[in-house]
Amino acid sequence: MILKKYLADRILNALNQINLQGIEVAVDRTQNPEFGHYTSSVSFNLSKVLKKSPYEIAKGIVEKLDDPLGLIDRIEIKGGFINFFLKETAFHLVIREIIKERANYGRSNEGQGEKVQIEFVSANPSGPLHVGNGRGGALGDVLASIFEWFGYAVEREFYVNDVGTQMNLLALSVEARMKELLGMPFEFPEEGYHGEYIKDIARLAIENFGDNIWNLPQEERLERIKEFAKDTILEWQRKDLEDFGIRFDCWYKESTLHKKNLLKEAFDILKANGYTYEKDGAVWFASTRFGDEKDRVLIKSDGSSTYFLADIAYHLDKYRRGFSRIIDIWGADHYGYVARMKAGVEALGYDPNTLELIIYQIVHLFRGGSAVRMSKRAGEMVTLRELLDEVGKDAARYFFVMRDPNSQLDFDIDLAKTQSANNPVYYVQYAFARCCSLFRQAEARGIEIERMFDCDLSYLRDPLEIELMITLEDFPDILKNAFYNRAPHRLTFYLESLAKSFHSFYNSLRILQEDEPIMYARMALVFATQQVIKNGLDIIGVSAPERM
RNA sequence: GCGCCCAUAGCUCAGGUGGAUAGAGCAACAGACUUCUAAUCUGUGGGUCGCGGGUUCGAGUCCUGCUGGGCGCGCCA
């Protein structure tokens, strides 16, 4: 980014001299070496305003262009594009920058410590996490890291729906399985949870409670079973997420909202603002006034509140906790709630633009080339735990963030498991391990590794070296791109291209050798590469193994 | 029926704010290890960017109408 920024600044400077301010200048990498290292198409954008041809404008800009650091070798104007050919010394600045910044290369403080909350996963405590939760988890966690890299104070939060009929159903389901295991007559609840894990909980519950539980009145017994089942499942989820590399700053329980009387408070605000009305014995929220398709019920005719009201209360609480930006990450099946949620916060009096809803599409698992069938109803979901046990944390995280959240994800379990070139995770990790191995080798040979930090980089001039340096230069830009577009997958694509660049370089140019000036310069390049791969993998939450 | 997402090479997918000849991985084929890790590299072939219009210097990208697939449209949670 330092080079692109430098060139953009040069153009801005030149535009200033012809009295043009506030223009957005983009400088990009080129696809074709014929067009130089970097290019800008500003002249096309200015052509309308200035009523001159792009070529004339480009010429005007180039005439006024300065080069205080002396990085530009030559400039060509082709069809209005301004093509920059840089001297090799320009790219050496990138290496210097990385050596200076190290683990901070790519960071920015533009968030200035602003408080941001990202809420994700938030699975119901009615069963183990499934693979869909894995995608939401990886996406949320990586986005959170990216926000941190941009200087935001990020809180990761998990919302626990520990209230409502589903919890009662859970208790009834477990109780039934307990009776079954004990050989007692039992009746399985109509809409109960059928998964095998219910039997596991039942087994644990029998162990935990002993025979005494059956002496309690049913209501109390179910209450105890409910608490036990919920805690057991939450513990499973917490453990799964930890093994998945995710640690939440806060597990926020819905029951807390009730204890703090926040549902009533939120309701009163909506009412006071005139957005509620009664109809058919229920109380409604006029969300259509904020663009929702239809109005929504807040309080049902039986007097109980809806899940939606709890959600409004929850968001009220989020704002009160001082977050200036709130991000909810939801699966595609929750898309229908986006409009009403936005309407909710707006009706509470907050700027709906500070609430961001990120929707990710569903995950399909593939094994042996065919889709793995899953049925939520029958409780036949592939759990996150099973996936983790099978493919490991690194592959799982990488694969989940590998795709645009807007696209459905085909997760190829076989591919994630292969320890070969086909697996992009290994490909990237291997590049890192190679760097490490090289420094081990250097150490074994008694090479004074430290000398690379202030060596003469002018020996880096091979096209493969230049290409690698240009790729390294790109990292902060890619990160910015991933940040602004909430698109972590751009990072995985970048890392693969960086690894590719490195492997090509490594394969055809000798690093450790007799010629010391060349050796140290190349070692510095390897060091920079190693650092950037590490930074990228850190953000994704994938390990960078020193040996493979 | 309505809303949203998706459609790019045989397969899986990249292609912020419109920029030059649309890219990568896999698969296929042909090559490269006495030398720093071959979990690597080099080369070849492969395309009506779902279809039709439109906007403009320029469209895979923006608008519009279709087609096909996914998700959602409860006083469920």
Name the residues in A50-79 having a C-beta closer than 7 Å to nucleic acid strand B.
54, 78-79
Least Cα distance to A168 among A234, A238, A207, A221 occurs for: A221
Q: What pLDDT is recorded for position A195? A: 87
Question: Per the structure, how many domains does chain A have?
Answer: 2
pLDDT along chain A (548 residues), means of 10: 92 88 86 90 87 90 94 92 94 96 95 96 93 94 97 97 91 95 92 90 95 93 95 96 96 96 96 94 94 93 94 97 95 92 95 93 84 67 89 94 92 82 88 96 94 95 93 95 94 95 94 94 97 97 94
Name the residues in A407-466 having a C-beta closer than 7 Å to nucleic acid strand B.
407-410, 419-422, 424, 426-427, 430, 433-434, 436-438, 441
Helix (H) or strand (E) holding A221: helix A218-243
From CA A318, how far away is CA A303, in angstroms rounded? 26
Q: What pLDDT is recorded for position A27? A: 93
CA A53 / C1′ B23 distance in Å: 30
Q: What pLDDT is recorded for position A379? A: 59
Final residue of a structural domain among A32, A64, A86:
A86
HEC per residue, A128-163: CCEHHHHHHHHHHHHHHHHHHHCCCEEEEEEEECCC
Q: Are A282 and A299 in contact (CB under 8 A)?
A: yes
Tell me if A177 is assigned to some domain. no
Query: Could you tell me the strand order of the sheet in which A27-29 lies?
Result: A27-29, A38-40, A81-86, A72-78
From CA A289, how far away is CA A283, in angstroms rounded? 16
Tell me if A19 is assigned to some domain. yes
Report the nearest residue to nucleotide B72, CA vs C1': A336
Tell me if A438 is assigned to some domain. yes
Report the nearest residue to nucleotide B37, CA vs C1': A434
Domain region containing A426: 93-100+421-540
CA A451 / C1′ B6 distance in Å: 52
Final residue of a structural domain among A42, A62, A86:
A86
Report the nearest residue to nucleotide B6, CA vs C1': A407
Cα-based torsion angle of the residue sequence A403, A409, A415, A416 in order, rounded to the nearest 10 degrees? 70
Q: Say whether the CB atom of A190 is under 7 angstroms from strand B.
A: no
Against a cut of 0.90, is the pTM above it? yes
Tell me if A232 is assigned to some domain. no
CATH number for the domain spanning A535: value is 1.10.730.10
Q: What pLDDT is recorded for position A380? A: 65
Nearest nt to the A281 alpha carbon by C1': B75
Look at residue A236 and give its three-state secondary structure. helix
Tell me if A121 is assigned to some domain. no
What are the residues facing A177 on neighbouring strands? none
CATH number for the domain spanning A30: value is 3.30.1360.70
Q: What pLDDT is recorded for position A481? A: 93
Q: Where are the alpha helices (DSSP H) in A402-456?
A: 413-417, 424-444
Name the residues in A477-516 having a C-beta closer than 7 Å to nucleic acid strand B.
477, 481, 484-485, 487, 489-490, 493, 496-497, 499-500, 503-504, 506-513
Q: What pLDDT is recorded for position A19? A: 77
Nearest nt to the A302 alpha carbon by C1': B75
Query: Could you tell me the strand order of the sheet in which A409-412 lies?
Result: A370-371, A363-367, A409-412
Q: What pLDDT is recorded for position A120? A: 96
Tell me if A59 is assigned to some domain. yes
Q: What pLDDT is recorded for position A377? A: 59
Rounded to 10°, the helix A218-243/A165-181 angle is 100
What DSSP designation does A305 have?
Answer: B
Final residue of a structural domain among A86, A109, A128:
A86
CA A50 / C1′ B55 distance in Å: 21
Q: How far apart are the first and last CA of chain A?
A: 31
Q: Are A483 and A150 in contact (CB under 8 A)?
A: yes
Tell me if A336 is assigned to some domain. no
Tell me if A462 is assigned to some domain. yes
